[in-house]
Each structure stands twice: as structure tokens, then as C-alpha cells.
A and B are shown apart, each in its own frame.
Chain A
Amino acid sequence: MSKRGKDRTQVLQGTLDLIVLRALATMGPQHAYGIATRLRQVSEDLLDLNQGTLYPALVRLERQGWIKGTWRRTENNREAKYYAVTAAGQKALAQETVRWRRLAGIIEKLLWEDS
């Protein structure tokens, strides 16, 4: 993998964490499939986020202590892990949101200047 490619994934990864955190913070405890469905709806199908992408992000967030998963039963009596944002996760979400807004602002500005 080229260096550029690697950098891009990293940025995407950071964004993915932010998206998941945000979704969970608004929706309350939710399982992986629920999050995927919700994100597709919100992005009006533009964000192609299948569970294969989502799952590693959930594992990562959980081990960072930003979300916490507990096993429960769904209404169809199937067992599923429901993730909820922790206190540390709330704090991280606030910080990451600020950081993202700043970054997006800079990029926006740069794009305007260049054109």
C-alpha cells in the first residue's frame, strides 16, 4: 500500500469513529445492525457503510473505553450486543467534533482560495 493510500484510510478511520459515536449518542444503546441501518437512512444511502466496516470500528471504540457493549435480546428473541456511549466517550465526542469542524473549516477555506 502506498503512503498516500495509508494516510487516507487513517483519516477515514477517524471520521468513522466520530460518525459512530455521534449516532450512538443521539440514538441511545443500539446494536451494530441498528447503527448501520440508521447511518444509511441519515446519509440517504450515500454513505455505504456495511457491517463489515462498522464492526472493527465498534471493537476499536470499545477497547478505547468510549463505548461499552452489553448482550441483550432483541424483540425477535435473538441475542445482540447493544453499544452505549460512556462518559469518556461523550468527552471524546465533544473534542472530536470541535477538531472535525476546525479541520473541515480549514479545508473549506483552502478549497475556496484555490478555485
Chain B
Amino acid sequence: MHHWRQFLAKVSTLFRRGRVEDEIARDVDSQLGLLEDDLQRRGVPADEARLSARRAYGGLEQAKELARDELTFVWLEQLLQDARHAFRGLSRSPAFAAVALLSLALGIGANTAIFTLVNGILLKKLPVPDPERIVQIQARLREFESSGFNYPAFRELRRQTGIFADVIGFWTRSAVAEADGDSYTVGFELVTGFFFSFFGARPALGRLIDEEDDRAEGAHPVCVLSYRIWQARFGAEPRILGRTIRVDGVPLQVAGLRPGLSLPEAGARLAAASRAIEEALPGERANAGTVYQVRDASKGFDSWRSHLQDPLLVLIGAVILVLLVACANLANILLARTSSRRLEFAIKLSLGISRWRLLRQPVRSGALEARYRGRAAQVEREVRQIVKSAAPAYQVSQATTMELLRDGLIAQDRLLMFLSGLFGVLGVALALAGIYGLISYSVAQRTREIGIRVSVGARQVDVLWLFLRESSMLTATGVLLGIPLALQLARFVRSMLFEVSTADPAAVSLTLALILLGSAIASVVPACRAARIDPVQALRYE
């Protein structure tokens, strides 16, 4: 206890020292001043009065110390008291503690996870110096927009000096790599010479591709390995430098820049240079009328963001709702717990259900994924062998089934679906636990009333109805408020729905039916308990 105080006192002084010290200094100064005035009035000379006042004050430093203690411990004592109280309460009812902690953990955990994604993809800037100076170049021809450029166009863009500090280009694709008689598919990027220095990257070993490699086309056929490939495929071999790896390399296109001008200025000057760029291109590469534009790329490329923005916003919305439900739920349970001890048993039940669901789903999807991967590898091996024997001149860069291709394409949407489904279930489970808590609370509060009703002739079924009516009223109110709200909010996810209307009657009615059923079940348990109450005991209650 004593150590705790000391520790907390130290922590608290971090925040409060300045304010407390100022307060004490002001108090003591004014008190000394009054004492000094009085002494002078009684004839003590001014220079002596100051000293005498300090003496007459009596234990100046000690008084300050005592005052300091009083002020510093104000909120500390309250905090300790609350913490002690809370801890005692929680250890008395572990089931309640588990539900409360689980609700909060899920709510906060889901929020943290999704926000990490949102932060990484939508908010955070590129890890380069002056990310706000990086732009993405785009070509526009009537209604068509493109960020991909052919190499001559890149060269011409780079020649437009005075608009950008430099222009880099890169192109991401997959290719077949061959080394040590082994061949496999790798993701690789074709980059222009300035690429690595542009992002301030440094080599882990050897050198990176630089300006020199750009001097003459094809004169420097070099590549830079990723650290991961080096470890996975070459056993982190230190003498990797100078080795030959065959990669099926083909074309090169453009994007990614660094302006010395403001975004609109650079845009205007690039647009003005559009005609010159097109005219300088070889005939078959030129598209007369193309206008070159710039876009903000300080947070990375637009395409990454536009791709993920909507799903992420939907997810963050969902997890915030889950957190809100968890908080409301917690408040409900707290309320219910103060008057009902039997709640513990029931909370265990509701916890049992939701925990089941939560655990089951991820496990199942994990198993499915492993099976898919195994199949994909098998298919790829077989196709390679067939092609090798039938047409040795050809190389297989990637072999897959249509099914796997489709799965790959919709993987992101599936994940989004799974996560929003999970958060939905979580929200409903929490809401039902909340209804349960509320009705239990109501039952416990009205025990006496129930006793009176039963003793004047109410049947069990009447008591049951009393509480079911109450819960149905609550649920009906919630549904009446919730459905229009949900339909309004659904408009935001319209772009993500395919052949399903945002007000799909089947989906809405199914959700409605599930919620009504769930809330009925959640309230039947405490209502039954109310119906079984012994009137004699109930009248003695309180």
C-alpha cells in the first residue's frame, strides 16, 4: 500500500507538480505579505519585517510540505479508492468480470486492428523525406486515365526539366526466375535508375540500381534481390553478388515523381508540355490529344487507396459500432448486477454462446485457406511438367485453376464480408446480452411487485407475459429506429454490393427475424425466473 502511494505520488507529480507548486507559492507569498504589513504597522522597519514575518509564520517549509501532500493526494486517493473498490467487486463475480472484459477487449481489439490498417493505408505518408513533394503522373485522353507509360514517354517526361526534381518509373509484375536449375514464380519490379535513391533506400549488400544503369538501354542487365528472396531461395548466401539469375524481363512503363513546384503549378506546366511530349514520341506510340496530369502521391499511390478506401471505411464504421454496443452493454450489465446476483449464471450462458461463435469461424476459414494453398501448388507442379514435355521452348510463369483465380480476385471482398459479418454477429451478441441484463435487472427490481401480483391471483403465464411485453416493446422501439437508420447508412456501401439492393427485402427481414428471435430468447430466461418466484419469499424481499 505504502509503495503504491509512493509510486503514484511520483507519477502524479509529473502532471501536477507545476500547478501545485504555483498554487502553494501564491498562497504562502500572500500570507507572508499580510504578516509583513501587520508587523510594519506595529513599527517594525521594512527590511526587518520581511525576515520577522518568515519567523513568525512558523515552520514555513513544513507547512508547504504538508499542503503539497494534501493537494497531491486529492485525486490519487480517490483513484486508489475506486481501483480498490472495483477490484474487490470484480474478484467477487468473475463471470461478470469476464463478460465485461471480453466486451471491452473485443471492442477495443477490433478497433485497434482496423485502425492500424486505416492508418497504414489511408493516413500514413510514405517513409521518405518530404512525402508531400511526391506526385503521381497521369495521362488523360478524353475519358480515359492512365498511370502507365511506355519507356519513350517516360524519357520525354523526364526531359521536361523545371517541373519535377526528378521522375522515377516502376512496373510491378510476376515473372519466372531461374537459378541453380530451379525455376519459380517471383514478384518483381522493373525500375528506373533514380528509383532507389529517390526513396532514400540503402543496400544491405553490394549496391542498388542507380543512375549509371540508365545511361544506355540494355547495357546494365542487373537486378536487386529482396532480402526475403535472398534468405528463402539462396539460403542467405553471402557470395550472392555476381551470380546470374534468369528472369523473363519484358517492357517498362512509368509513374511516381517528385515536384519542385506546387501541385497545381506542376500540373499546369505538365499539361502545357503534353503536346511536346506526344510529338516527340515515335508514331506507333503516340496518342494525339493526350494530356499529362499530376496527382498527390504523398500517401502512396492513388490506386492502392481507392481500392481499399471504401472497404476500410466500412470496417472502421463497423468496429466503432461494436465498441459502442460493448460500452452500452457494459453499462447495462453494471446496472443489472447491482441488484441481481443470479445474473452471473445467465451471463455465463450468454458468454458461452458468443465465445463459441467467435472461436469457430476463424478456425474454419484458416483450415480452408491451407487446403486451397496445397491444391494450388499441386496444380502448378502438374502444369509445369506437362508444358515441359510438350513444348520445352515455353516457360510457365503461373499455373492455376479458374476456381483459384476467381478466389484470388475476390479474396479481399471475401475478407471484408467475413469481417463485417463477424463484427455484425459480435454486435448482435453484445446487444442480446444487454437485453438479457436489462430484463434481469427489471425482474430483480420488481420482485416485490411480482409477489403482490401473484398473491392477488396473477398466474405464472401472466407474469411471463409482463416481462416479455416489456422486452418486445424495447426491441420494437429499437427496430423502428434502427431499420430506417440502417437503410440510410447502407447507401454508403452500395458500391460494394453486386446484384443485391441495399434494401434487399430478404436480407432485411432475415436480420429482423433473427434480432426479434434473439431478443425474445434473451428475455425469456429472466421472465421465466420471474414467473417462478415464490410470492411468500417475494413479499419478504428487500
A residues sitting closer than 8 Å to B (CB atoms) are: 31-34, 37, 50-53, 55-56, 59-60, 63, 74, 76, 78-81
Q: Are B30 and A79 in contact (CB under 8 A)?
A: yes
Q: Is the CB of A52 within 8 A of B59?
A: yes
B residues in contact with A33, CB < 8 Å: 31, 34-35, 38
Pairs of residues from A and B, 10 with the lowest C-beta to C-beta distance, nearest first: A50-B58, A52-B58, A56-B66, A52-B59, A33-B34, A52-B63, A59-B67, A59-B70, A55-B63, A80-B30
Residue B28 at the A interface, CB < 8 A? Answer: yes
B37 at the interface (CB under 8 A from A): yes
Which residue from B33, B60, B70 sits with its C-beta under 8 Å from A63? B70
Known contacts A50-B57, A52-B62: does B34 contact A80 (CB below 8 Å)?
Answer: yes
**Distance between Cα atoms of A50 and B66 in the complex (Å):** 14
A-B contact pairs, 14 of them (CB 8 A): A31-B30, A50-B56, A51-B31, A52-B63, A53-B63, A55-B27, A56-B63, A56-B67, A59-B67, A59-B71, A78-B30, A78-B34, A79-B30, A80-B31
Determine whether B74 belongs to the interface, using a CB cutoff of 8 Å to chain A: yes
**Which residues of B are found within 8 Å of A56, using beta-carbon distances?**
63, 66-67, 69-70
Size of B's binding interface in residues, CB under 8 A: 22
Chain A residue at minimum C-beta to C-beta distance from B40: A76
Quick one: closest A residue to B66, CB to CB? A56
CA distance A33 to B32 in the complex (A): 9
Least distance between B495 CB and chain A CB atoms (Å) = 57
Q: Is A55 a contact of B34 with CB atoms below 8 Å?
A: no
Contact present for A31 and B70 (CB under 8 Å)? no
Instruction: Name which residue of chain B comes closest to A78, CB basis.
Output: B33
Could you tell me the distance between the alpha carbons of A79 and B35 in the complex, rounded to whole angstroms?
A: 13
B residues 1-48 touching A (CB-CB < 8 Å): 27-28, 30-31, 33-35, 37-38
B interface residue numbers (CB < 8 A to A) = 27-28, 30-31, 33-35, 37-38, 56-60, 62-63, 66-67, 69-71, 74
Q: Within the complex, which residue of B27, B37, B56, B70 is in contact with A60, where a contact is CB–CB below 8 Å?
A: B70
Complex CA distance for A76 and B35, rounded to whole angstroms: 12
* B74, closest chain A residue (CB): A63
- Known contacts A33-B31, A74-B34, then 15 further A-B pairs from the complex at CB < 8 Å, ordered by chain A residue: A50-B57, A52-B57, A52-B62, A52-B63, A53-B59, A55-B28, A55-B66, A55-B67, A56-B67, A56-B69, A59-B71, A76-B37, A78-B34, A79-B30, A80-B34
Which residue on B lies nearest to A60, using beta carbons?
A: B70
Interface core residue of B30, B37, B74 (most chain A CB under 10 Å): B30
Min CB distance B43 to A, Å, is 16
Q: Residue B30 contacts which of A52, A59, A63, A81 (CB distance < 8 angstroms)?
A: A81
List chain A residues, Cβ under 8 A from B56. Answer: 50
Query: Which chain B positions have C-beta within 8 A of A53?
Result: 58-59, 63
The one of A52, A74, A76, A80 in contact with B60, judged by C-beta atoms closer than 8 angstroms, is A52
Kindly list chain B residues whose C-beta atoms are within 8 Å of the C-beta of A74: 34, 37
Q: Tell me the minimal C-beta distance from A30 to chain B in angstroms.
A: 11
| A56 to B30 Cα, complex, angstroms | 15
B60: A residues at CB distance < 8 A: 52
Q: How far is the CB of A27 from chain B (nearest CB, A)?
A: 15
When chains A and B are docked, how far (Å) is the Cα of A37 from the Cα of B74? 29
Q: In the complex, how many angstroms separate the beta carbon of B69 from the nearest chain A beta carbon? A: 8
A51 engages B30 (CB within 8 Å): no
Assembled-state Cα–Cα distance A8/B28 (Å): 27
B70 and A78 within 8 A (CB): no
User: CA–CA, A78 to B37, complex, Å?
Assistant: 9
Nearest residue (CB) in B for A34 is: B34
For B30, what are the chain A residues with a Cβ–Cβ distance below 8 Å? 31, 78-81
What residues of chain A lie closer than 8 Å to B37, measured between beta carbons?
Answer: 74, 76, 78
Report whether B66 and A51 are in contact in the complex, using a CB–CB cutoff of 8 Å: no
Residues of B within 8 A of A78 (CB): 30, 33-34, 37
CA distance A74 to B28 in the complex (A): 15
